[in-house]
């Protein structure tokens, strides 16, 4: 009897616990999604018949595509900035991944003089803040003509050049691929290049996707270097610079709904890609965290 | 350990140096004329012995170095002591005044550093060149054949594949990270600022003046501002790391609870803040809490407040808001990570604890938490140092504001060291102080990383939790 009662009280407890959990989760979901719902709703507010600035209500009185129409007019520059960002993101995603894979394979699979010294040196270098070198990078780029009109290739160059230093997660993953696998191939006479390209690379697919995804997402947020490198040449800006300017200029009142619409346009491809590849992202984050 | 370990490593280095010098001497004394001539003309030996590829590369390196130094580098290097003496001025001696361009301190410093790096590189190659000769002679004496060009190229894809792989990344890191950092470290010891901008004006070495300025309290000194910003940086990093860590773990435990449905949906909702670029989400949220923003708008409309809450214009509010909004941005990472890790904890641990009569909180404290802390130690460390330099969250939300007359260098009450550095570089062009701040960020990061790394349980005891 007592046992049954205990069992029942446990069941009741669990039911109460689950209900509380559901309530908390629903509250969290509302908090997490509210800003995005607001962003989307306000991007549809009419610029002409209503107001383009900030208002004290969420749902527009009249839905319209005014803000989107503004963005899609080529003379307003947004399309140019959008394509700049897309070009940068694609190149950076591909080239960064190549660099990171090269470094990771060399450090994970090969033993050579200076290996630990190189790793320690890069670790120390990584402790310097990135913005410290901004002016120096600007002048270096200027020397090779990759500022202002050359801002897009210039930005690609500075993202890719030092990307080898971010090898940690990728190397950690390669370390978990059993060495016996490539050792036996080596005995069969396969060269390191062959092992890298035909054995390790296919096995490293999740981490390749993770690396490319992270690299692809970064340029969409990069307004610091983009505004610095393209300084004064508006065709060289990217979307991040535009969004940030629209929000921060004194007449952001007129640009707020345009910011919202621009934000939606930026978020759609990045978010879609991320959600599709979420599985690989989780794998990378979890692996990287444990390895350090 | 510390001191004796250090002396022994110094001793080792000295020994290694001695052995190296001895090898160079022996190579010269016992080498044939080809080797001896290689000491001056790099790659001469390999060329004469038929190792064309190696010989040509070494010779080309030497030729390039000499050409670079003679036509370009030396001209800058000779001015490194002063960073230039002739300022740009207007020559009025003629009929028409002419602007005469003087020395450019910026390029003198930059290219001098480059020349120094090239010199180090050529010394290293010279050493490689001598070892090449030494090895080749030894091989020939033993009656073996020297590797052919074909074998050389093949070895780059096999035994020496690491060199092929690392060549490009290392060059990239050198030009776009090492050289700029070395340059900026030098800038910390110069007076390069708004009044000393090249090419119109010169800047020069000032020793430790900038560091003294940073630590001097009162007047126009940066001391009190530096202390304020540094303390807030540490407080922020502490909260941003640990609040997110524990709240994230809590939410992950909730989602992982038995009997909770739609696990994937909850996670996907949280992950939206990772997926949507921060430039969109943070800027929008920043405006949401503005004086004329949505939150204040509704609160005023419903009559809950009489005046707009100064979320971004009062230091206390702004700091709390930033930490709270960072929870919104930050805990999804932790949730993603913790979900996987929590499932690794063997279920029978909990089962036996339950039989012993442990309640939920006790199980969390005795089983879940120790395991998580053990496994995620390195993550906590990298997340803390990452937060010290978390530019986006601060700058997109508050731009470091609210500003105050009490703070120098354009700093505001939510500025981190990194955003302060950025402002000094971009707004004030106060490069000298920006460089000093950059070096101090490095020092703070390095000290915390090194001291905490040794204490990590997973480093101390790798097998601990198996």
pLDDT in tens, B173-191: 999 999 999 999 999 999 9
Q: Is the dihedral of CA B48, B54, B56, B61 positive or negative?
A: negative
Question: What are the chain A neighbours of B280 within 8 Å (beta carbons)?
Answer: 39, 243, 263, 266-267
Cα separation of B366 and B352, whole Å?
Answer: 12
Which residue among A17, A35, A274 sits closest to B275, beta carbon to beta carbon? A274
Which residue among A38, A192, A228 sits closest to B288, beta carbon to beta carbon? A38
**Residue of A210 and A7 predicted with greater confidence:** A210
Probe site for chain B from A185, A237, A292 (most B CB atoms < 10 A) = A292
Chain-chain contact of A103 with B169 (C-beta, under 8 angstroms): yes
The set of residues, in sequence order, having a beta carbon less than 8 Å from that of B1 and lying 6+ positions away, is none
Number of inter-chain CB pairs under 8 A, A vs B:
263
Chain B nearest CA to A188, separation (Å): 13
- pLDDT bucket at A250, cuts 50 / 70 / 90: low
Chain-chain contact of A135 with B154 (C-beta, under 8 angstroms): no
Which residue among B281, B290, B337 sits closest to A285, beta carbon to beta carbon? B337
Chain-chain contact of A267 with B173 (C-beta, under 8 angstroms): no
Give me the pLDDT at residue B4, please. 47
What are the tokens at B231?
A: 């303390």
What is the enclosing helix (H) or strand (E) of A138?
Answer: helix A134-143
From first to last of its 466 residues, chain B has per-residue pLDDT tens of: 344 455 677 888 888 888 888 888 888 888 888 888 888 889 888 888 888 888 999 999 999 999 999 998 888 888 888 888 887 777 777 777 777 777 888 899 999 999 999 999 999 999 999 988 888 888 888 888 888 888 888 888 888 899 999 999 999 999 999 999 999 999 999 999 888 887 778 888 998 989 988 888 766 778 888 999 999 999 999 999 999 999 999 999 999 888 888 888 999 999 999 999 999 999 999 999 988 888 999 999 898 888 889 999 899 999 999 999 999 999 999 998 888 888 888 888 888 888 888 888 888 888 888 888 888 888 888 899 999 999 999 999 998 878 887 888 788 899 999 999 999 888 888 899 999 999 999 999 999 998 888 887 666 655 455 4
Show which of residues 29-58 on chain A sit within 8 Å of chain B, judged by CB atoms.
Answer: 29, 31-33, 35-36, 38-39, 54-58
Show which of residues 59-88 on chain A sit within 8 Å of chain B, judged by CB atoms.
Answer: none
A271 closest CA partner among B257, B303, B59, B269:
B269
In the predicted structure, residue A25 carries a pLDDT above the cut 90: yes
Chain-chain contact of A193 with B159 (C-beta, under 8 angstroms): no
Chain A nearest CA to B276, separation (Å): 5
What are the tokens at A250?
A: 């004194």
- pLDDT bucket at A242, cuts 50 / 70 / 90: confident
In order of A172, B250, B255, B323, B346, the CA distances from B342 in angstroms are 20, 11, 11, 26, 9
Chain-chain contact of A25 with B260 (C-beta, under 8 angstroms): yes
Query: What are the phi and psi torsion angles at A63 (to 5°)?
Result: -80, 135
Give me the pLDDT at residue B93, please. 76
Give me the pLDDT at residue B60, please. 94
CB B199 within 8 A of CB B386: no
Give me the pLDDT at residue A156, please. 95
Chain-chain contact of B172 with A103 (C-beta, under 8 angstroms): no
Show which of residues 86-115 on chain A sit within 8 Å of chain B, judged by CB atoms.
Answer: 99, 102-103, 105-106, 110, 112, 115
A216 touches chain B (CB under 8 A): no
Chain-chain contact of B168 with A122 (C-beta, under 8 angstroms): no
Chain-chain contact of B449 with A24 (C-beta, under 8 angstroms): no
B308 closest CA partner among B326, B321, B290:
B290
Which residue among A22, A243, A292 sits closest to B382, beta carbon to beta carbon? A292
Give me the pLDDT at residue B1, please. 37
Question: What are the chain A neighbours of B278 within 8 Å (beta carbons)?
Answer: 221
A134 touches chain B (CB under 8 A): yes
Give me the pLDDT at residue B6, please. 54
Q: If you measure CA to CA, which chain A residue comes closest to B432?
A: A132
Give me the pLDDT at residue B370, please. 87
**Residue of B74 and A48 predicted with greater confidence:** B74
Give me the pLDDT at residue B146, please. 84
Probe site for chain A from B162, B252, B269, B296 (most A CB atoms < 10 A) = B162
Which residue among A38, A106, A228 sits closest to B162, beta carbon to beta carbon? A106
**Residue of B260 and A82 predicted with greater confidence:** A82
Cα separation of B164 and B385, whole Å?
Answer: 32
Domain boundaries, chain B: 31-207, 215-460
In the predicted structure, residue A243 carries a pLDDT above the cut 70: yes
Residue A108: how many other CB atoms lie within 10 Å:
19
Show which of residues 183-212 on chain A sit within 8 Å of chain B, judged by CB atoms.
Answer: 191-194, 196
Q: Is the dihedral of CA B281, B284, B286, B289 positive or negative?
A: negative
Which residue among B175, B300, B333 sits closest to A161, beta carbon to beta carbon? B175
What are the tokens at B237?
A: 């990093």
CB B313 within 8 A of CB B291: yes
Question: What are the chain B neighbours of A17 within 8 Å (beta carbons)?
Answer: 257
Give me the pLDDT at residue B38, please. 87
* pTM, to two decimals: 0.89
Cα separation of A219 and A95, whole Å?
Answer: 13
B215-460: CATH topology: MetI-like fold (1.10.3720)
Considering chain B, what percentage of its residues have pLDDT values greater than 90? 40
Q: If you measure CA to CA, which chain A residue comes closest to B378?
A: A292
Cα separation of B11 and B8, whole Å?
Answer: 5
Q: What is the mean pLDDT of chain A?
A: 88
Whose structure tokens read 């990171």? Answer: A100
3-state secondary structure of B98: strand
Question: What are the chain A neighbours of B378 within 8 Å (beta carbons)?
Answer: 289-292
- pLDDT bucket at A37, cuts 50 / 70 / 90: very high
Chain-chain contact of B279 with A259 (C-beta, under 8 angstroms): no
In the predicted structure, residue A176 carries a pLDDT above the cut 80: yes
Q: What is the pLDDT of residues A103-151, one digit of tens each?
A: 999 999 899 988 999 999 999 999 999 889 888 999 999 989 898 888 9
Catalogue the E-assigned strands of B42-117. Answer: 89-91, 98-100
Query: What are the phi and psi torsion angles at B36 (to 5°)?
Result: -60, -40
Cα separation of A114 and B94, whole Å?
Answer: 60
Q: How many CA atoms lie within 13 A of B257 on its CB side?
A: 21
Q: If you measure CA to CA, which chain A residue comes closest to B419?
A: A131
Chain B nearest CA to A75, separation (Å): 23
Q: How many CA atoms lie within 13 A of B398 on its CB side?
A: 30
A237 touches chain B (CB under 8 A): no
Lowest mean pLDDT among A2-6, A31-35, B12-16, B144-148: A2-6
Whose structure tokens read 């100064």? Answer: B310
Cα separation of B379 and B337, whole Å?
Answer: 10
Lowest mean pLDDT among A53-67, A230-244, A247-261: A247-261
Q: What is the pLDDT of residues B320-353, one digit of tens each?
A: 999 999 999 999 999 988 888 888 888 888 888 8
Report the pLDDT averaged over residues A7-18: 82
Q: What is the pLDDT of residues B354-381, one digit of tens each?
A: 888 888 888 888 888 888 888 888 888 8
In the predicted structure, residue A292 carries a pLDDT above the cut 60: no
**Residue of A2 and B307 predicted with greater confidence:** B307
Q: What is the mean pLDDT of chain B?
A: 87
Q: What is the pLDDT of residues B191-229, one digit of tens each?
A: 998 888 877 788 889 989 899 888 887 667 788 889 999
């Amino acid at each position: 009897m007592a046992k049954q009662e205990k069992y029942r009280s446990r069941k009741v407890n669990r039911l109460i616990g689950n209900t509380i959990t559901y309530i908390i989760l629903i509250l969290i979901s509302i908090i997490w999604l509210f800003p995005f719902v607001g962003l989307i709703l306000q991007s549809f507010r009419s610029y002409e018949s209503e107001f383009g600035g900030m208002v004290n209500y969420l749902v527009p009185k009249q839905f319209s595509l005014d803000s989107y129409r503004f963005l899609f007019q080529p003379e307003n520059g947004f399309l140019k900035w959008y394509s700049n960002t897309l070009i940068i993101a694609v190149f950076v995603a591909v080239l960064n991944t190549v660099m990171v894979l090269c470094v990771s394979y060399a450090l994970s699979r090969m033993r050579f003089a200076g290996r630990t010294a190189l790793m320690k040196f890069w670790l120390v270098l990584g402790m310097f803040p990135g913005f410290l070198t901004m002016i120096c990078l600007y002048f270096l780029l200027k020397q090779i003509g990759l500022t202002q009109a050359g801002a897009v290739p210039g930005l690609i160059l500075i993202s890719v050049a030092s990307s080898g230093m971010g090898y940690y997660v990728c190397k950690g993953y390669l370390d978990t691929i059993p060495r016996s696998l490539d050792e036996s191939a080596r005995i069969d006479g396969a060269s390191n290049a062959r092992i890298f390209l035909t054995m390790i690379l296919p096995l490293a697919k999740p981490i390749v996707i993770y690396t490319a995804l992270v690299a692809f997402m970064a340029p969409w947020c990069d307004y610091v270097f983009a505004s610095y490198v393209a300084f004064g040449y508006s065709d060289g800006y990217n979307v991040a610079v535009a969004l940030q300017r629209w929000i921060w200029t004194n007449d952001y009142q007129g640009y707020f709904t345009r910011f919202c619409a621009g934000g939606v346009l930026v978020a759609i491809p990045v978010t879609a890609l991320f959600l599709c590849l979420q599985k690989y992202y989780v794998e990378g984050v979890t692996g990287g965290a444990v390895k350090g | 350990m510390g001191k004796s370990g250090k002396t022994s490593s110094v001793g080792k280095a000295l020994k290694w140096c001695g052995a190296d010098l001895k090898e160079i001497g022996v190579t010269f004394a016992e080498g044939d004329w080809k080797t001896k001539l290689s000491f001056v003309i790099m790659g001469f030996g390999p060329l004469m012995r038929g190792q064309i590829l190696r010989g040509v590369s070494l010779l080309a390196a030497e030729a390039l170095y000499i050409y670079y130094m003679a036509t370009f580098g030396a001209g800058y290097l000779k001015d490194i002591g002063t960073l230039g003496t002739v300022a740009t001025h207007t020559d009025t001696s003629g009929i028409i005044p002419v602007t005469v361009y003087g020395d450019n301190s910026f390029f003198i410093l930059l290219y001098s550093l480059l020349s120094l790096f090239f010199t180090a590189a050529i010394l290293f190659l010279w050493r490689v060149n001598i070892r090449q000769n030494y090895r080749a002679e030894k091989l020939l004496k033993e009656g073996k054949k020297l590797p052919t060009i074909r074998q050389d190229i093949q070895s780059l894809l096999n035994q020496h594949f690491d060199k092929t792989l690392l060549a490009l990344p290392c060059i990239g890191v050198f030009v776009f990270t090492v050289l700029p950092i070395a340059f900026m470290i030098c800038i910390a010891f110069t007076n390069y600022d708004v009044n000393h901008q090249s090419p119109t004006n010169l800047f020069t070495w000032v020793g430790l003046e900038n560091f003294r300025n940073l630590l001097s309290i009162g007047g126009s000194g940066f001391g009190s501002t530096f202390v304020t910003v540094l303390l807030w940086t540490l407080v922020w990093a502490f909260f941003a790391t640990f609040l997110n860590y524990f709240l994230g773990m809590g939410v992950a435990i909730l989602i992982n609870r038995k009997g909770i449905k739609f696990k994937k949906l909850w996670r996907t909702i949280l992950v939206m803040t990772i997926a949507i670029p921060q430039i969109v989400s943070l800027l929008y949220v920043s405006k949401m809490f503005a004086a004329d923003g949505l939150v204040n708008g509704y609160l005023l409309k419903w009559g809950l407040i009489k005046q707009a809450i100064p979320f971004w214009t009062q230091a206390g509010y702004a700091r709390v808001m930033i930490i709270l909004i960072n929870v919104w941005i930050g805990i999804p990472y932790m949730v993603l990570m913790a979900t996987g890790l929590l499932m690794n904890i063997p279920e029978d641990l909990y089962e036996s604890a339950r039989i012993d009569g442990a309640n939920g909180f006790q199980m969390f404290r005795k089983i879940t938490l120790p395991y998580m802390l053990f496994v995620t130690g390195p993550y906590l460390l990298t997340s803390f140092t990452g937060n010290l330099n978390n530019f986006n969250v601060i700058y997109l939300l508050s731009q470091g504001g609210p500003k105050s007359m009490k703070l120098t260098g354009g700093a505001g009450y939510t500025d981190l060291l990194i955003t302060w550095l950025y402002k000094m570089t971009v707004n004030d062009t106060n490069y000298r102080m920006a460089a000093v701040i950059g070096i101090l960020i490095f020092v703070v990061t390095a000290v915390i990383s090194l001291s905490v790394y040794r204490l990590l349980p997973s480093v101390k005891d790798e097998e601990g939790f198996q």
